[in-house]
Amino acid sequence: MAKEKLTRRAFLRTLVTAGVSASAFSLASCSRAKRESFFQKHFLEMTDPEKKELIARLEERYLSKYGRAFDVSVKGAVKGTLWGYGLDLSRCIGCRRCVYACVRENNLSRHNPQTQWIRVLRLKKGNLVDLDKADHYYNPPEVPEPDYFYMPVQCQHCENPPCVKVCPVHATWKEPDGLVVVDYNWCIGCRYCMAACPYRGRTFNWSEPKLEKEEWNTEVHYLGNRPRMKNVVDKCTFCVQRVRNGRYPACVEACPTGTRKFGNLLDPESEMRYMIAHKRVFRLKEELNTQPKFYYFFAE
Amino acid sequence: MHTDIKLRHAPEALPWCLACHDVKNRDKLHLVNGDLIDFTESYRLCGQCHGTNYRDWKAGIHGKRVGYFSGGKRTYYLCVNCHNPHDPKFKPIKPEPPPFRPQDKENG
């Protein structure tokens, strides 16, 4: 009996044939929507009819999955806008109202895991440079505390974003209105962007977001607060679903002390331009040449 | 009811109610020059002393604006929407809970 010798070539041929037929079989057996989402194009390469189909597919899926009627938007950047953010360090009292307004608006997971896009740092007064000594787990009975000041940090929407540079699949990019966004369908979850971000501005979805049915915000944007999948990276988008419709971000509206400012940097009449021209302004870690569009300032 | 109001607002400049409220028309406030204004215009009264804040507020840097900055209704918060005019200093408040630590069971 001659022993059949399996050559490397024959082995590979069998493997490839088996692989192709298996994937063809599984794709043929799955639903049309699943097949389409598997072959979905990159968001920036989609045509308008394809985006319409995408919206219909997502709305149907969210309805069956979460039992709520979602309104998915793919609205593009408004012409002549470059969004900028201002945060008045002389007013922030560290109450974290912004953190939870953001969580509610952007459908962030409430527990197991908890994800938050805003991190409020507490620093000793007179110690703005030593961010290593910052604490974001502070929990006194009342804020502000006399010896401390507070510095909320979130995505800085850099003009020169290091997170975009390192993405191996171009799942994240800077939009024409300056927002740095993620296509969750394209993200492979490698977390290079999280390692590259000097502001810890990105979060990873260790599981699907855990929300009660009535907690979902159903006004969503494809590049923003739509329900995320497991194993994708997300981040603050300056509430893309709101600002592209002319509405202030949720954190701006939630702040009880008026610390947070938002506006169009290209509009000479905007509050942002007044703030930059008249107040003491700095941007976080300017030496890294990330050129954030998030301005910290002191009104007093 | 009015006796509950304790004035803690610049006692040298505004020693009593009628420094701001008009004596004859109680539905109005009066400026230093004697002009009567509505309560909806109270920022003009505040701006008489707090000029720098008034300037910043008009530019949108002090205070708060909510709603739509374009294509909808925008609401400007007035001074008195945040500051109690009789006791304007902000009181400390309880912060929202801190985030879970990585080792917490709610974050597993």
Contact state of A253 with B66 under an 8 Å Cβ cutoff? yes
- State residue A37's pLDDT score: 81
- Residue B105 Cα distances to A112, A203, A255, angstroms: 8, 19, 29
| Residues of chain A with C-beta less than 8 angstroms from the C-beta of B62 | 258, 299
- State residue A19's pLDDT score: 76
Contact state of B98 with A96 under an 8 Å Cβ cutoff? yes
Asked if A134 contacts A254 with a C-beta cutoff of 8 angstroms, the reply is no
Residues 3 through 22 of chain A touching chain B, CB cutoff 8 Å:
none
- State residue A27's pLDDT score: 63
pLDDT tens-digit series, residues B86-99? 999 999 999 999 99
How many domains is chain B built from? Answer: 1
User: Which residue does chain A place closest to B73, by CA atoms?
Assistant: A247
Specify the pTM.
0.89
pLDDT tens-digit series, residues B1-47? 788 888 999 888 888 899 999 999 999 999 999 999 999 999 999 99
Contact state of A247 with B72 under an 8 Å Cβ cutoff? yes
- State residue A130's pLDDT score: 83
ipTM: 0.91
Residues 126 through 165 of chain A touching chain B, CB cutoff 8 Å:
136-144
The b-or-e profile of B51-84 (16+ CB within 10 A means b, else e) is eebbebbebbbbbbbbeebeeeeeeeebbeeebe
Tokens of B65: 């604006």
Asked if A37 contacts A55 with a C-beta cutoff of 8 angstroms, the reply is no
Q: Is B21 within a domain?
A: yes
- State residue A26's pLDDT score: 65
How many C-beta neighbours within 10 Å does residue A161 have?
24
Nearest to A271 among B60, B68, B70 (CB): B60
Q: Is B53 within a domain?
A: yes
Q: Is B47 within a domain?
A: yes
Contact state of A247 with B68 under an 8 Å Cβ cutoff? yes
A175 touches chain B (CB under 8 A): no
Q: Is B106 within a domain?
A: no
* Chain A closest-CA separation from residue B55 CA (Å): 11
Asked if A119 contacts A131 with a C-beta cutoff of 8 angstroms, the reply is no
Strands (E), B1-108: 29-30, 36-37, 65-67, 74-76
| Residues of chain B with C-beta less than 8 angstroms from the C-beta of A253 | 66
Burial grade of A219 (CB within 10 A; 0-12, 13-18, 19 or more): middle
- State residue B105's pLDDT score: 86
* Chain B closest-CA separation from residue A235 CA (Å): 16
Average confidence (pLDDT) over B51-70: 94
Low-confidence ranges of chain A (pLDDT < 50): none
Domain assignment of residue B54, given as a range: 2-92
Contact state of B98 with A136 under an 8 Å Cβ cutoff? yes
User: Which residue does chain B place closest to A254, by CA atoms?
Assistant: B66
Q: Is B100 within a domain?
A: no
Burial grade of A17 (CB within 10 A; 0-12, 13-18, 19 or more): exposed
B64 pLDDT band, cuts 50/70/90, is very high
Nearest to B92 among A99, A119, A143 (CB): A143
B100 touches chain A (CB under 8 A): yes
Contact state of A247 with B67 under an 8 Å Cβ cutoff? yes
Contact state of B93 with A95 under an 8 Å Cβ cutoff? yes
| Residues of chain B with C-beta less than 8 angstroms from the C-beta of A93 | 90, 92-93
CA–CA dist A204, A115 (Å, integer): 8
- State residue B47's pLDDT score: 95
- Give the CATH number of domain A83-298; options: 3.90.1580.10, 3.65.10.10, 3.30.70.20, 3.30.360.10: 3.30.70.20
User: Which residue does chain B place closest to A98, by CA atoms?
Assistant: B96
Nearest to A100 by CA among A80, A82, A79, A115: A115
DSSP-derived pairing of the beta strands A280-282 and A294-298: antiparallel
User: Which residue does chain A place closest to B58, by CA atoms?
Assistant: A271
A273 touches chain B (CB under 8 A): no
